[in-house]
Amino acid sequence: MNAIRCLVVHDDLELRLRLGALARRAIPKLEANCVTCNSFDALPLERLAGYVALLLIVEFNLRDSTLDPLARLVRTRGQAPRLPVFVFARGGDERNAARTILSGAHDYWPIHAVKMGELAAVLQPLVEPAAASGALVCAAIDPRQQPQIAGYRLVKTIAESTVAAVYLARNDDLPQPVALKVQALKGRHVVSEADRQRFVRECQILSALNHRSIADVLDFGITDEYLYLALEYFPCGSLRDRLKNPVSEAEAVDYARQIGEALAVLHAAHVVHRDLKPSNLMLTDDNRVILIDFGSACMQLQASDLSRSDLCTGTPYYVCPEQIDNREPDGRGDLYSLGVVLFEMLAGALPYVGNTLAEIFAGHCSTPVPRLPQRAASYQAIIDRLLAKEPADRYASAKVFLDDLATVSAPERAAPDGRIQGVVKL
């Protein structure tokens, strides 16, 4: 039987993987292939005919205003007029939406406001045109779209993964809005009674951590349908947002120190985060880094298969080699991810990239650790240990890493005889 496939187009690997995963969750029998814009432009028309839909991510905030963001849509409609094209916009507004539809798109969504039920409703007739019905569409809707958690009012969706969703929510008993993470107990992921007990136990551990660089757990619980976890909400954005602009060496070291301190506390409580990345590191108005999203640490109730393209935990750029090899990571896996983040801050680029998951995974598992720019070369030895392929070759603990970082980044001072000498740690 021939596969039923859609095609996701964008240059950001993580973004197109997320959209592809959402399409597969909406229609489980639908396969999602993901390609870059250049690869799509070079695709022969006969290959394009093999897809039931095109999911095109469009950038409306391009710096080069001479480029028409909808040029690829218009060209595709001319070449393959029968191929349904769905546009997912970054930076668009109402005028962009209207122009997109007038240019021939079948539908339009802001990329961060895609509802699985809506996506299922438009894709289902393409997959099973004879059997498309309201019942089938309803069956494809994720039960997490509108969870009912007593005491909480959901304001908006912040993020989604294959196992959970995070909402901005309010609770009358709490003075500030919260980030409410919700996982359904039924459906694709079966949660046992032992899993529920572990969830409660680990939430209790997280609640007791009380560290300035770890998000406070404000509430947690289990209903008949959901597990939920309420954390602090940080409106200032994440380190991912901050890294859209260069950071200084001093900032990079300060951020890395704060992350290391949070990991030291977390690991001392025998909790491994498993999903350390810039989007899970929030910033406060006084430039503090706060570690959030313990979904992989205390709510990931099923082992993830990182060989698949719909990553359940982590992202390909920050995952440690042992996770790729389906080995259970310990705290040294978090330190590896910290090494990727630190390299990215110091170098202004990721250590391992590629056009496919296989290429990125090969970088993590077999490519030598890349060199930092000369301006940051003094941190190369630290990066080498953090990004070591084998856990045994990395820092044994976050504390050892922090000691090393403090030594390398210690300010220099002049000795009485005029020589430059490092500050001696007591």
**How far is Cα 367 from Cα 345, in angstroms, rounded to an integer?**
20
How many angstroms separate the CA atoms of 69 and 65, rounded?
9
Tell me the one-letter amino acid at 32.
A
59 forms bridges with which residues in the sheet?
A: 90
What is the SS3 assignment for 271-310?
Answer: CCCCCCCHHHEEECCCCCEEECCCHHHHHCCCCCCCCCCC
- Of 29, 223, 227, 228, the closest CA to residue 140 belongs to 29
CA pair distance 398, 336, nearest whole angstrom: 11
- Three-class secondary structure of residue 123 per DSSP: helix
Beta strands in 36-121 (DSSP E): 53-59, 85-90, 107-110
Cβ partners under 8 Å of residue 233, min gap 6:
168, 176, 177, 178, 179
Distances (CA, A) of 82 to 2, 6, 27, 54, 207: 19, 14, 21, 11, 54
**Residues catalogued as catalytic:** 275
Q: How far is CA 385 from CA 210, 267, 378, in A?
A: 29, 18, 13
- What DSSP element (H or E) covers 122? helix 116-127
Structure tokens at 173: 């008993």
Q: What share of the chain is helix, strand, coil (3-state, %, to 5)?
A: 40, 20, 40
Is the CB of residue 53 less than 8 Å from the CB of residue 86? Answer: yes
Phi then psi dihedrals of residue 415, to 5 deg: -75, 165
**Helix intervals (H) in 321-370:** 321-324, 331-347, 357-366
Residue 284, classified by CB atoms within 10 Å of its CB into exposed (0-12), middle (13-18) or buried (19+), is middle
Strand blocks (E) in 81-240: 85-90, 107-110, 152-160, 165-171, 178-184, 217-222, 226-232
